[in-house]
Amino acid sequence: MLKTTLRTLVAVSALAMAGSAFAQKAEIGSSAEAKAMLEKAVAAVKGDKAKALTAFNAGTDGFKDRDLYPFCGNASDGQMVAHPSEAIRKLKLSDIKDKNNFALGAEMVKVAKEGAIAEVAYVWPKPSGGDPVAKVSYVTKAGDLICGVGYYK
């Protein structure tokens, strides 16, 4: 009887810990979810660019999921045209640097190619605040835009 009770307690504890880990993980978007959102964003831009950019900025139509969101800048001049933050929309990609002075926006411009998805790693604060942490953005060129979606590691 004691062995059965102990096994039950161990099993319940293991399930509780697994559930807790899953809940923590679910608070931030995954690499696969970021890539899927970028693919959805590119399709939206190709379908109706103006509508897509409006949705990206507003976080509507499935373009805001926890800490995942698409962002875009003009390929010609780097001017940001889509980002949840109005302050960042006022910047050019070439002006965006991380805490370590890494020119992540310039790197995005450099690696973005039509029909291919590239990765750019940098450090960035989470939307909830705090010190910057490791982040990776998937980036691509979609017509005359450079678009990306990033996830925290």
CATH assignment of the domain containing 124: 3.30.450.20
In a domain, 77, yes or no: yes
Whether 67 is covered by a domain: the verdict is yes
Contact 46, 143 (CB under 8 A): yes
Sequence-separated (6 or more) residues with CB below 8 Å from residue 114: 140, 141, 142, 143
Percentage of residues in the chain with pLDDT exceeding 90? Answer: 79
Nearest to 36 by CA among 145, 141, 138, 144: 138
Whether 20 maps to a domain, the answer reads no
Take residue 30 and report the two structure tokens written for it. 């995954």
| Cα–Cα dist 121/137, whole Å | 7
| CA distances for 84 relative to 58, 67, 70, 88, 89, angstroms | 7, 11, 8, 8, 8
Residue 64 has pLDDT above 60, yes or no: yes
Q: Is residue 75 part of a domain?
A: yes
Residue 40: other Cβ atoms inside 10 A: 16
Does residue 17 lie within any of the structural domains?
no
Query: Average pLDDT in the 67-96 region?
Result: 97
pLDDT tens sequence across 131-150: 999 999 999 999 999 999 99
Q: Which residue has the tokens 């800490």?
A: 67
> Is the pLDDT at 109 greater than 80, yes or no?
yes
Q: How far apart are CA 146 and CA 139, in angstroms?
A: 7
Flag whether 72 is in a domain.
Answer: yes
pLDDT score of 28: 93
> Number of structural domains, the chain?
1
- Residue 13 covered by a domain: no
Confirm whether 15 is domain-assigned.
Answer: no
Range of the domain at 122: 28-152
